[in-house]
Amino acid sequence: MEFATGFFNSTVNFFTTVIDFAPKFIPGVTATLQLAFLSILLGTAIGLVVAVLKLTRKKILIRIMNIYITVIRGTPLLLQLYFIFYGLPGMGIEIDRFPSAVIGLAFHNGAYISEIFRGAIESIDYGQREAARSLGMSRWQSTKRIILPQAFKRSIPALGNQFIIAVKDSSLASVITITEIMLLARQFVAATFNVFPIFFIAGVYYLVITMGLTKLLRMIELKLKVNER
Amino acid sequence: MSMIEIKNLHKYFGDLEVLKGIDLTVNEKEVVCLIGASGSGKSTLLRCINSLEKKTDGDIWIDGELVEHEKESSINHIRQKVGMVFQRFNLFPHMTVVQNVMEGPLTVKKLPKEEAKKLAMELLVKVGIDEKADEYPAMLSGGQQQRVAIARSLAMEPKVILFDEPTSALDPELVGEVLKVMKDLAREGMTMIVVTHEMGFAKEVADRVIFIHEGLIAEEGTPDQIFNNPQHERLQNFLGQILE
Ligand SMILES: Nc1ncnc2c1ncn2[C@@H]1O[C@H](COP(=O)(O)OP(=O)(O)O)[C@@H](O)[C@H]1O
Ligand SMILES: [Mg+2]
């Protein structure tokens, strides 16, 4: 009997907390969505530029791009965010909280995304470029018209993976006090000690975002594939 | 008038000398077939002509213009005059058949879309594949793909077309349809250099047959001279193997 009432009470408590707090997460969800959206968009643009620059025959450019990728992949994202928000002001560069987070996350994603693009570009049969060049296309024309569209299509599964990581990584922006989902969750827990229901809500919000993203990418993939084989 | 003039062409891959001093003149409207064992340098010769490979030494003139392999602008300009048809077709899989054919005129010649499409459709009719215009290459047989590739190269209105074993990747029953298109082109006066193992085609269409052996032109002559009266022992052996 005692056990049953205990279970009943905690269940009621769980649901009331969830119903009570779920709407309070909305500002955090908005911030997470903004961070994820911007850092994915910018990260993809950065990744594309880096991958294309690495296709040029300019040794110095390739060197710089490789250093960028090595540094990003070899250091923790946490450190990168600290560096931009707390480190750069020491060098006279002050960037606001939110832009700092977006820049940090975007450059982080960009390094990984550039590697995804590079792999996809390298997987395109060399005969494709030769056929394009033999029509008289310049290097850039054949890259833009023939190689990149095929490479982009091939990158979608790996990109989807990286986008999901980007959503989850945006939680690290809480360390520079961006009020996203995880920061709110910790604040609510500290205020109410209702650990389980509150982290549960946070988890559900992340799942909804990442599952939505997966679905979206799946749709894009199917749409691009539709006629091709 | 000579369409292609090659003087003392040498090509090394690292230490390997693949072309050892080729001299070759191809006249306007001439059809030249290149034959020779695998690895003798036939593909390399074609690829040097349209700058897919950089020559090591020697000179190449196309339509009176000296090819400068170090200059991107020279290369792109020359390539508009020189079509290339590959063994493995190399159609663009993300474009429909008609888009494949339009791509050169659109991107390189900056032709308006309607004009490019009109031209492409005419060429597809010519190679007998206009009913597949809106299909993707993956839906086509090898023979159909190669005919599209020929149309794609014709769309740039080249002065000469290089064929590198255009039927070698095809199932035997599909070879004929591609050769027919090539014969039509030859009859219309297209200048062509064709690397091929199709001796029937060479006999019927070629003005001149050239036997390449270890990076040199070992023997050349009319199809009759080459096939019925070969001088070189190497050529005799080669023909013996092919005709087996
Ligand atoms: N890109 C390359 N790098 C190194 N060696 C090559 C390359 N392309 C061709 N070769 C070599 O050059 C020789 C001639 O090749 P190729 O011109 O393709 O002969 P063919 O077309 O007559 O069969 C071969 O020994 C081949 O291995
Ligand atoms: Mg070859």
A22 lies in some domain:
no
pLDDT > 90? residue B77: no
Percent of the residues in chain A that have a pLDDT greater than 90, as a whole number: 79
Is the pLDDT higher at A4 or at A143? A143
Average pLDDT score over residue span A40-44: 97
**For B81-114, b where at least 16 C-beta lie within 10 A, e where not — what string?**
bbbbbbbbbbbbbbbbbbbbbbbbbbbbbebeee
Which residue among B93, B108, B138 sits closest to A136, beta carbon to beta carbon?
B108
A135, with CB counted inside 10 A (0-12, 13-18, 19+), is buried
Of B38, B44, B87, B194, the one to substitute when testing ligand 1's pocket (max ligand atoms within 8 A of C-beta) is B44
Q: What are phi and psi of A188, to 5 degrees?
A: -65, -40
Residue of B nearest to A125 (CA): B90
| SS3 assignment, position B182 | helix
Alpha carbons B17 and B10: distance in angstroms, whole number: 8
**Ligand 2 ion: nearby residues, β-carbon < 5 Å:** B 43
| A167 contacts A180 by C-beta, under 8 angstroms | no
Q: B24 CB less than 6 Å from ligand 1?
A: no
Size of interface A-B (CB pairs under 8 A): 69
| CATH code at position A102 | 1.10.3720.10
A111 lies in some domain:
yes
| SS3 assignment, position B61 | strand
Write out pLDDT tens, residues B197-213.
Answer: 999 999 999 999 999 99
Where residue A3 falls among pLDDT bands split at 50, 70, 90?
A: confident
Cβ distance of A228 and B94 shorter than 8 Å: yes
A44 lies in some domain:
yes
Percent of the residues in chain A that have a pLDDT greater than 70, as a whole number: 98
The predicted pLDDT at position A225 comes to 75
Alpha carbons B168 and B146: distance in angstroms, whole number: 11
Which residue among A131, A133, A228 sits closest to B138, beta carbon to beta carbon?
A228
Structure tokens at A55: 């296709």
Alpha carbons A204 and A200: distance in angstroms, whole number: 6
A6 lies in some domain:
no
The predicted pLDDT at position A191 comes to 92
pLDDT > 90? residue B94: yes
A192 lies in some domain:
yes
A150 reaches B (C-beta below 8 A): yes
| A135 contacts B153 by C-beta, under 8 angstroms | yes
Residue of B nearest to A131 (CA): B90
Alpha carbons A54 and A118: distance in angstroms, whole number: 8
A10 lies in some domain:
no
The predicted pLDDT at position A150 comes to 94
pLDDT > 80? residue B163: yes
List, in order, residues 6 or more apart from B22 with CB less than 8 Å away: B6, B8, B9, B45, B58, B215, B216, B217
- Please state whether the predicted TM-score (pTM) of the whole model is above 0.80: yes
Number of structural domains (chain A) is 1
Q: B168 CB less than 6 Å from ligand 1?
A: no
CB atoms within 10 A of CB B57: 12
| Complex ipTM over 0.90 | yes
A146 lies in some domain:
yes
- Which range of residues forms the domain containing residue A131? 31-228
Nearest CA to ligand 1 atom 26: B39
| B105 contacts B115 by C-beta, under 8 angstroms | yes
Find the Cα–Cα–Cα–Cα dihedral A150, A155, A160, A163, rounded to 10°: -110
List residues bridging with B1 in a β-sheet.
none
A141 lies in some domain:
yes
Average pLDDT score over residue span B81-108: 97
pLDDT > 90? residue B189: yes
Interface test with A, best of B90, B100, B150 (most A CBs within 10 A): B90
The predicted pLDDT at position A223 comes to 85
The ligand with the least distance to the CA atom of B36 is 1
